[in-house]
Amino acid sequence: MSDSEEFGALETASISPSEELTHLREKVKTLEEHEAEFGQKRAKFKEIYMQKEKELESEKERLQKTESELKSVKEEYERLKGEMEGIKTAVAYSESNRQDEIEAIRRQCKEEIDTLQSLLNEVRNEASTSTAMQYEQEQRKLKELCEKYEEEVRELRSRLNQDGEGFLSSVAKQLKQMAPGSLAGSSSSLAQEHESLEDDMRKAQADAEILKSVVMPLEEEIRSLKEQLHEARGRGREGQGSQTSPSNKHPTPDTQSLSEMDHSRDPEERINELMKYLKAEKASRKDLEMYVAVLSTQKNVYEEEADKLKKDLDDVCKILEEEKKSHEDLRQTWQMANDQFLESQRLMMMDLRRMESVLTVEQQRQIGELKLKDRKREAQEKRVKDLEEMRNKQEQDQQRRKLDALNKMEQASEKLQALENHDLGNVLQVQSESLSQGSNSSINLLSTDDGQVKQSPSNDTLDTTGESLVDGLSAPEDGLRVQISPEKTLHMPHLSEAQMKAITDPTPELVARQSLLATARQTDSRISLEGRRMVSEKEWELLQKQLLEAREKAGKPCDMCNNYEAQLQNIQDEYKREQVKAKSLERRLNHELQTLENKQKYITDLENSLNNSATEAQNQITSLTTKIQECERYLTEVRQQNTQSQLELRDMLKSLTKDRETVQKEIMKLQSDNDSLMGAHSKFAQQLQNEDINLPNNMEELQLLLLKYREEIIQAKVAKEHIESSLKSENMFLKSRVHAEQEEKNTLEETLNQEINSLQEKLAVQESLKSELEREATVRANFEAKCKETEESMKSIQAKSKQLISALQQQVEEQSNARTQLENELQKQKGKVQSLQIDLDNSEAVQRDFVKLSQSLQVIHLCNTSLYYHNSLCNLSYNNYSRYAFCNYCVTLVVKDIRDIILTFGMKLMKFSFYEHL
């Protein structure tokens, strides 16, 4: 091939080599610029890489710090775990108690819920049945109303049809009557145009009158129909109101008029109204449930109170029955003793009266003087006793005032110590009740003993003593009941069967006396009964002295009795003092009980608060443990992510270093090639510049030069194109590489930013956990301090309560000892009373023996003589009486037959058999 075929025509040589050189230079400049830009970018990439390495180092430091913080948090967590184990052991007991209480409360709640559900079901069933019945009744009423209204509408329609047919028939008839005249008029008016206007006016007036006659009845019928419709509607409304007024005062959607029913027949409105009604029923049911719950709680409380009251009533009834039994036994014993004493005293008084009837006037006067002296002495003793009672009353008033002052002081101290009072009563209530019961029983016993001792006869006459004693014995039966404890009735003396026989059966002396009197009665009635004294004056004086002594002994209490009464009074005074002391001790006990109750309440409140705080602490600890576990999981995940990111970064760095080495090698090669090429070209260009321009003179040489230059230019273009293609490929590769590196850089920045944000969030969470842990530690320290304070206060309270309990126990022991001493003294006094009673019985027996002796002597001396003692002032003659005579002046008795004597003292008669009472 020729050169022209290869390179075309020589027109290509039109591009000068200088232009090509300039073009090549420009390309070299662009390449240099690209290299400079590449170097700048490389430097920037290096800076970015160094920054990232610094950031990674800082992140490593942060991770180390977070790891150290995590270690500290773990240590604190372990410490808190140890503390939590201690708290759990402390809370376990409270949780067990709480679970038991919760189970009991749940049972109660289940029972209450069951009862409430049953009540609610009943209420629902009742409400549903009642509402269903109401709805059915209302539906029936509405159906009936609808049927009535439909019938009324049918009737009205039939009436309207009838009225319309009549109206149309009347109108048609009138039109038929008027039609030929109008046609004739119209034809005449059409035919005769020449007629005057007067005829036309007449015809128009006639037509107007016809129309009026047709229209007026129509208007009247329309008005009447309207009025009938109004009346029918009013009747319907009145009927509806009369039917709904007894059931509902306010109009409801089910009880409305026809027009309202037609308007309110929409189902949505009806549903809305039903929903409102159901809501109102639900609200009322809630109120009913609340009311039922309140009633159930009140019922439970009242039932518990009723059970307690029943128990108390049963106990009180038992105690009353026992007291009644003991009282009846004691009353019977005292009744028997009193009857015996009254019988003995009655016999003594009868003997005294019998002996007084035998005394002379001087002896009776002496006896009267002695009675006056005795009465004066008794009056003086009464005055002394009254003065002593007044003095005792004054002393008691002073003691009461002192006690009132002490009570006021105690009340003030109770008000000051009201916050510390509340809880020893449950412990010592039984002891106080037993003390109060024992004191009450002893009081009642002493009061009964006192009353019965005071009921001892001290009067002279028999009637007054008997009546007073009978009244005193009948008083408890009427209204006053003396309660004596059964413990005291065991120690009282009861009469045995032998004693009862000894009291009721006749004695051998009485049998002997009765036999003597029977022999005396058998004496002859003819014996003269002239009275004369059969006893000497000395014997009579001795007899009188013995009678006075017997009277004094019978009418007055003995020294032993006085001593016994004085001892009883002293015992009563001591008992009153002990009672006052017991009341003061009871007040102190109540005070201490109130203090202990208040302390117990305070302790229960503290326990509840501690339990609540323990539960709250447990909940907080559980939440903290869950948070810590989540933090640990999160930290493990962060660590795994950090290790993965580190491994990935290391792999990336290794790959980047390898790629960097390869790129550097390629760049060195390209630079060496470029330098070589640039060096050859620069040498060629310098040579060309330095060479002289020696053009040949021949055309052939010129052509050869041109061909040579052309070949060189072709080689240069080939090299240039090769270099350009290699540079372009390298440039594209570097651009893609830079782009990929930029994308990797962006992704790394995003990942690192995300990791930084996540780490910051974790640090914030850890800081919040630290703050919570510090707060919990402070709260725990506060709770521990409070617990220590409460423990110290509890210890102090326990010590105080122990001291108080010990003091109260000592006081109770002292009171019990005093009580035992008093009981022993009472038993001693009862022994003394029994011994005194025995002495009295002995003295009564001696007196009876003495009286029997005197009577036997009198019977012996008077068997064959008459009993007579005559006063000098007596005017009774001995010959005026047949069987016996009586002088009202000197109270003398002249007897012939001593078998049956009737003594009359003034207006009063007293019959008795003389021989039975001698």
How do residues 429-485 score in pLDDT, each as one tens digit?
A: 444 444 444 444 443 433 444 444 334 444 443 343 343 333 443 333 333 333 434
Longest dimension (CA), the chain: 243
Do the beta carbons of residue 564 and residue 832 sit within 8 Å? yes
Domain's final residue, options 263, 278, 302: 263
Q: pLDDT at position 551, please?
A: 62
Distance CA 702, CA 692 (A): 16
Tell me how far CA of residue 100 lies from CA of 12, 97, 104, 494, in angstroms. 114, 5, 6, 58
Domain boundary among 212, 240, 263: 263
Q: How far is CA 184 from CA 178, 189, 199, 788, in A?
A: 10, 8, 13, 133
Quick check: is 648 in a domain?
Answer: no
Residue 803: its pLDDT value, please? Answer: 81
The DSSP output letter for 894 is E
903 forms bridges with which residues in the sheet?
A: 910
In this prediction, residue 510 carries a pLDDT of 61
Residue 595 lies in a domain: no
Asked whether the beta carbons of 421 and 414 are under 8 A apart, the reply is yes
How confident is the model at residue 25, as a pLDDT?
Answer: 80
Residue 729 has a pLDDT of 81
Cα–Cα distance, 505 to 507 (Å, whole number): 7
Amino acid of residue 640: Q
* 903 membership: H or E segment, kind and range: strand 902-905
Separation between Cα atoms, residue 913 and residue 901, nearest integer Å: 7
What does the pLDDT read at residue 284?
65
- Amino acid in position 440: N
Residue 66 resides in a domain: yes
Asked if 638 and 759 touch (Cβ cutoff 8 Å), the reply is: yes
Q: Which of the 8 DSSP states describes residue 507? A: P
- Does residue 216 lie within any of the structural domains? yes
Query: Over the range 719-746, which residues count as b (16 or more CB within 10 Å of their CB) and which as e?
Result: ebeebeeebeebbeebeeebeebeeeee
CA dist 598 and 587 (Å) reads 16
| pTM summary value | 0.22
The overall average pLDDT reported for the chain is 68
Does residue 587 sit within a domain? no
Q: Which residues have CB under 8 Å from 333's CB, separation 6+?
A: 492, 493, 494, 495
Q: In this structure, is residue 242 part of a structural domain? A: yes
283 within some domain: no
Residue 40 burial by CB count (10 A; 0-12/13-18/19+): exposed, middle or buried? exposed
- Domain hosting 123: range is 39-183+200-263
The CA angle 353-534-541, to the nearest 5 degrees, is 60
Q: Which residue has the tokens 């000892």?
A: 817
Per-residue confidence (pLDDT) for residue 511, from 0 to 100: 67
Distance from C-alpha of 748 to C-alpha of 37, rounded to nearest angstrom: 24
**Spatial CB neighbours of 189, under 8 Å, sequence gap ≥ 6:** 195, 199, 200, 203
Q: What stretches of 12-79 adopt beta strand conformation (E)?
A: none
Residue 609 lies in a domain: no
The tally of domains found in the chain comes to 2
Low-confidence ranges of the chain (pLDDT < 50): 1-14, 164-165, 167-168, 171-172, 175-176, 178-191, 193-194, 243-265, 420, 422-494, 523-534, 679, 681-682, 864-886, 888-918
Give the whole-angstrom CA distance, residue 868 versus residue 881: 13
- For 370-406, write each residue's pLDDT tens digit: 888 888 888 888 888 888 888 888 888 878 887 887 7
Tokens read off for 47: 């800076």
Q: Which of 211, 240, 263 is the last residue of a domain?
A: 263
Range 306-332 burial, b when 16+ CB lie within 10 A, else e: eeeeeeeeeeeeeeeeebeebbebbbe
The answer to whether 892 touches 868, Cβ cutoff 8 Å, is yes
Sequence letter at residue 165:
E
What does the block give as tokens for 539?
């014997």
Per-residue pLDDT at 138 = 75
